[in-house]
Amino acid sequence: MRTVYLNGSFIPENEAKISIFDRGFLMSDGVYEVTSVIERKLIDFEGHFHRLERSLSELDMTTPLTKEGLLSIHRRLIDKNSVNNGLIYLQITRGSAGDRDFVFPDPETTPQTVVMFSQNKENLLDSPSAISGIKIISIEDQRWGRRDIKTTQLLYPSIGKMMAKKVNADDAWMVQDGYVTEGTSNNAYIIKNGKIITRAKSNDILHGITRAAVLRFAEEAQMEIEERNFSISEARDAEEAFITSASSFVTPVVSIDGQNIANGSPGPMTQRLREIYLDESIKTAI
């Protein structure tokens, strides 16, 4: 049984309880982060912490714990749950004022709810998807307009994953005004004429921590990058395609809406990017 963290205490998962009036439960009024653990070390913790601060600030919430405090909790969860490879999930909500109301409760009298737990994933580094690639479908992007805030409002991404599952695909890329925004839980890329193409940062996409690292490492490796919109049609005609996220790292996309990308196998640039990302990230893990 896992040990989880809840509002200052480490307790067995079956003893963790939150008020039914918590705004995270009633209104999805909360944010989250997921940090990968490789060989008992945290990948890009600094980036996840800074994005957490930004998400909270955009929702007029404070950061209830210091970076050092959160790092300590992450490490204790790794130790208590013997996590070698896996994930640490962190969620902060606006808390419970003891009743349901659309108006924000007074933060002076309503403490935030902080939840953290671990997930063991021993095949995190050698996921079958990284070897074979994934098949995706395209769907309309019907989310709210502030996707740059990592909120717990994940109903439509969940629907998107189920739409993909129903047609034996692995995931979905969302499309708005004719252009790909991102995957249901990842950033989207294509490679064309040897150039990495991905949508530029805006309120329309999550500012991925893995995205930032991958683009930085690609630039250091003298790979050409172009941040611009691209369509599903352009993606189908690309040389390669891939996704990035904290839990999938760099994963090839080999098919879109039933049509193979190139020869339907992971491409060499994508495979090289995954190698570079993992090598460099593990070097700086804490």
Active-site amino acid positions: 150
Task: Tell me the pairing of strands 240-245 and 249-256.
Answer: antiparallel
Residue 129 vs residues 18, 50, 65: alpha-carbon distances, Å: 35, 29, 36
65: how many CB neighbours lie within 10 A of its CB?
Answer: 18
Distances (CA, A) of 62 to 22, 48, 108, 111: 17, 16, 11, 10
Tally helices (H) and strands (E) across the chain: 8, 15
Q: What three-state secondary structure class fits 101?
A: coil
Residue positions counted in the chain? 286
Q: If residue 116 lies in a helix (H) or strand (E), which one and from where to where?
A: strand 113-120
